[in-house]
Amino acid sequence: MREINVSEVTQAVREMCIEANKRLPEDLTQCISACAGCEEQELPQGIMQDLLDNLDAAKELDIPVCQDTGMAVVFAEVGQEVHFTGGDFEAAIHEGVRRGYTEGLLRCSVVGDPLNRINTGDNTPAVLHARIVPGDQVALTVAPKGFGSENMSRLQMLTPAAGRDGVVEFVVDAVRKAGGNPCPPMVVGVGIGGDFESCALLAKKALCRPVSQRNPAPFYAQLEAELLERVNQLGIGPQGFGGKTTALAVNVEVGATHIAGLPVAVNIGCHVTRHLKKIL
């Protein structure tokens, strides 16, 4: 049994909240740069260059890449051989978010009640997804999620008769209806299978996968490629002003489902789809 003091969890989450908001994953930055070279018209070319200049400015000035520093989503994979000491694990996660956002001078956007809408002042509580896994390590992923893109999410309980074509049409239609609202070029997370709530979780997890990494199953890697092509044919383009780059990547995650169902969820990330992982 390995002991980990929850103060280590708090410190890790604090640092990750700040870092994830100030630095994009390198493969995402490279993808934006590569797609900038694909644009043929002056307006989308200029917008893509502005996005790259913004990332450079954030790095130079040590400030967030976007003013919406998001709601903190935390994935925790806890090894079953780990014993936490010094306090409560979940409280440690929230404390890490609180310190990260207040001490890191990040915008606090969380309200404690969806209708009374009083800001909590420290961006807590976080959204925590935790599961027990083999081993004696703790894998933490912090994914700040802005709501310009989150509000464009959709979920549909398709029937099995809809098949692959039905999934493709639903995903493409979700992006079409989102238009320029999620600050494209976007990353599109797609969850297929599971049940109502787990399907949405699959889509959220898909956004935490590197854009340079395809689904390991050839069938779904091919589906990702087709969806990316279809989405980019919409012509929404950078920031909704038209062009060839509506999406930077489409990531698909799948799960087992019921014989009578075909749930599909789309969770859209903006061009600053932020996530950072650390192993304790």
Q: For residues 32 and 51, is the Cβ–Cβ distance under 8 A?
A: yes
> Does position 103 have pLDDT exceeding 90, yes or no?
yes
Q: With a cut of 90, say whether residue 113 has pLDDT above it.
A: yes
Radius of gyration of the chain (CA): 19
pLDDT at 221 over 90: yes
Within 8 A by CB and 6+ apart from 216, the residues are none
pLDDT for position 16 = 98
Supply the pLDDT for residue 62: 96
Whether the pLDDT of residue 70 is over 90: the answer is yes
40 pLDDT higher than 90: no
What pLDDT band is residue 11 in, cutting at 50, 70 and 90?
very high
Q: How does residue 187 score in pLDDT terms, banded at 50, 70 and 90?
A: very high
Cβ neighbourhood burial of 85 (10 Å; 0-12, 13-18, 19+): exposed
First-residue to last-residue Cα distance in the chain: 14
**Is 37 a residue whose pLDDT tops 90?**
no
Report how far residue 259's alpha carbon sits from residue 242's, in angstroms, rounded to the nearest whole number. 41
Query: CA 25 to CA 271: how far, in whole Å?
Result: 11
Question: In the predicted model, what is the mean pLDDT of the chain?
Answer: 97
Count the alpha carbons within 13 Å of 193 in the hemisphere toward its beta carbon: 9
